[in-house]
């Protein structure tokens, strides 16, 4: 059975959804027969990347909150409350997020790193995904910067020279765009977006119990049940 998950590395709900899916999969009786494929989705393809911070440079107070307030057409205090709620939900899943550290990033390059990681196996891809999410939300790393991505990718075992070459040539950009086109064709308007065996679609970071129910339902419809 195949599960495809569209996500973005600058999406906190995607990070939460990834943890919930892992819990669901751990409780699924046929987990060893599940192929998981993470696919690319850019929340904002027009985003302009910010530069890496200099060593010791502190983030501008409330800069991330102001960016979100402008995006959603609200005020900083409302966004502060919203972000605190998301961070609290993430903490329940074992994730420590500090969104105030986030540097704005166009994630097309980061998704190319994830496609390269996929070529090394699903576990490498998951490690790369988690490393980039942590870097963005907890460490204030600039995911739109090539050398930052090279360094982070090397930390999960990818070859630095190969990553640098892929990013310099945008060698896997077509693969990113293909994922995004497929998401649009499937009707995805946001992420995380789970597609189970091209039979069920689940939008949003649903509870692990719901994801487990979908896995079981899809499996039961795929495998003939014994009589009696």
Asked if the structure places residue 30 within a domain, the reply is yes
* C-alpha atoms less than 13 angstroms from C-alpha of 13 in its C-beta half-sphere: 15
216: in domain: yes
- The residue-averaged pLDDT of 26-48 equals 96
Per-residue pLDDT reduced to its tens digit, 52-79: 999 889 888 899 999 999 989 999 999 9
More confident residue, 222 or 175: 175
Higher per-residue confidence, 180 vs 225:
180
CATH of the domain at 99: 3.40.30.10
Would you say residue 104 lies in a domain? yes
Residue 56 gets the label, from left (phi > 0), alpha (psi -120 to 50) or beta, of left
Matching residue, tokens 């495809």: 4
- Decide: 65 and 104 in contact? Cβ < 8 Å: no
Q: pLDDT tens, 105-123?
A: 999 999 999 999 999 999 9
| 154 inside domain | yes
Q: What is the mean pLDDT of residues 208-216?
A: 98
Residue 226 is predicted with a pLDDT of 57
Residue 228, in any domain of the structure: no
pLDDT at 7 over 70: yes
For 120-157, the pLDDT digits (tens) are 999 999 999 999 999 999 999 999 999 999 999 999 99
Report the domain count for the chain. Answer: 1
Q: Is residue 227 part of a domain?
A: no
- 179 belongs to a structural domain: yes
Domain residues for the domain of 84 are: 2-222
The answer to whether position 101 is within a domain reads: yes
The pLDDT mean for the chain works out to 95
């Amino acid at each position: 059975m195949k599960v495809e998950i569209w996500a973005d590395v600058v999406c906190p709900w995607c990070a939460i959804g990834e943890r919930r899916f892992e819990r669901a999969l751990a409780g699924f009786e046929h987990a060893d027969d599940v192929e998981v494929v993470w696919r690319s989705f850019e929340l904002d393809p027009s985003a302009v990347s910010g530069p890496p911070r200099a060593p010791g440079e502190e983030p501008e107070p409330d800069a991330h909150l102001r960016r979100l307030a402008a995006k959603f057409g609200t005020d900083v205090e409302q966004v502060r409350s919203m972000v605190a709620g998301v961070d609290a939900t993430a903490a329940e899943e074992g994730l420590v997020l500090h969104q105030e550290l986030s540097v704005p990033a166009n994630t097309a390059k980061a998704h190319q790193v994830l496609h390269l990681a996929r070529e090394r196996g699903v576990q490498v891809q998951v490690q790369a995904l988690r490393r980039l999410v942590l870097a963005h939300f907890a460490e204030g790393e600039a995911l739109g910067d090539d050398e930052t991505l090279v360094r982070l990718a090397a930390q999960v075992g990818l070859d630095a020279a190969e990553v640098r070459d892929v990013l310099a040539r945008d060698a896997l950009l077509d693969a990113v765009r293909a994922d995004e086109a497929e998401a649009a064709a499937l009707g995805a308007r946001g992420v995380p977006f789970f597609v189970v065996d091209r039979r069920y679609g689940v939008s949003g970071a649903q509870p692990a119990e719901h994801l487990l129910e979908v896995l079981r339902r899809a499996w039961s419809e795929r495998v003939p049940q014994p009589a009696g």
